[in-house]
Amino acid sequence: MYGLCSSNSNWLAHHVALSCQPSWCVKIREMFDSVIRQQFRTNCPNADEGSDTMFFTWLDQTPVGRLFLAGDSDALRYLLFDGGSMTERHDVRLQEWEQNAEKLKEPVTQLNAYFSGRLQQFDFPVAGQGTDFQQRVWSALRDIPYGATASYGDIAKVIGQPTASRAVGMANGRNPISIIVPCHRVIGTSGKLVGYGGGLERKKSLLRLEGVAV
């Protein structure tokens, strides 16, 4: 059974609401809501349940173009490249979130230091929303040192699923916190720069910035 995250639970809740009549389904709906909340907490432990305000800002004039940052009072939850795929791949809700650069000052400061070559390791909290498998992949990515690379097969072995190279690649593509969770450091087994959500030119730029010959 697939885990229930926000989009699945909202869809299911809507259809239960339509199929129930108020005179007899109140208790059923209460039981359903309780199950959904538990499933949401279990399968999406890093997801925000709407109790905290989401803030966003933009970082312009970086070596890889304009960047979108979003997070709440606990952690940075998105760092994405500006472009059409930003909202297609991720649950970005600009109309519902508050634009506030001050709330994201620390990530912006550290990113500027990274791009200027003065910082190699970020130390602010991040919390991307994903499945258990995706979380394990993203955690392994953060262990790849600055200036180093690893293959999809290497990551698959690290997480204990050596035959899951393709699934690792898919998890990379769903990474909501680019650069900080450094999926740009993952390359093909042959050493080629294969696949990157932000485009291969951005991948090359980030690796060159870190001193990797590409």
* CATH number, position 193: 1.10.10.10
Whether residues 104 and 136 fall in one domain? no
Whether residue 125 lies inside any domain: the answer is no
The domain total for the chain is: 3
Whether residue 29 lies inside any domain: the answer is yes
Whether residues 200 and 139 fall in one domain? yes
Burial class (CB in 10 A: 0-12, 13-18, 19+), 84: exposed
Structure tokens at 110: 């550290």
- Give residue 72's domain range: 55-115
Give the whole-angstrom CA distance, residue 213 versus residue 207.
7
Whether residue 46 lies inside any domain: the answer is no
Whether residues 33 and 62 fall in one domain? no
- Write down the pLDDT at residue 51: 45
pTM: 0.74
Give the whole-angstrom CA distance, residue 203 versus residue 195.
9
pLDDT in tens, the chain (214 residues): 333 344 343 433 433 333 344 443 334 344 434 433 344 333 444 444 444 899 999 999 899 999 999 999 999 999 999 875 666 677 788 789 999 999 999 999 999 999 999 999 999 999 999 999 999 999 999 999 999 999 999 999 999 999 999 999 999 999 999 999 999 999 998 888 888 888 899 999 999 999 999 8
Whether residues 138 and 197 fall in one domain? yes
- Write down the pLDDT at residue 58: 96
Whether residue 48 lies inside any domain: the answer is no
Whether residues 165 and 111 fall in one domain? no
Beta bridge partners of 70: 56, 78
Whether residue 78 lies inside any domain: the answer is yes
Whether residue 127 lies inside any domain: the answer is no
Catalytic residue ranges:
183
Whether residue 105 lies inside any domain: the answer is yes
Give the whole-angstrom CA distance, residue 178 versus residue 197.
9
Give the Cβ contact number of residue 71 at 10 Å.
26
Whether residue 184 lies inside any domain: the answer is yes
For residue 108, give every residue at least 6 positions away whose Cβ sits within 8 Å of its Cβ, in sequence order, or none: 57, 59, 69, 101
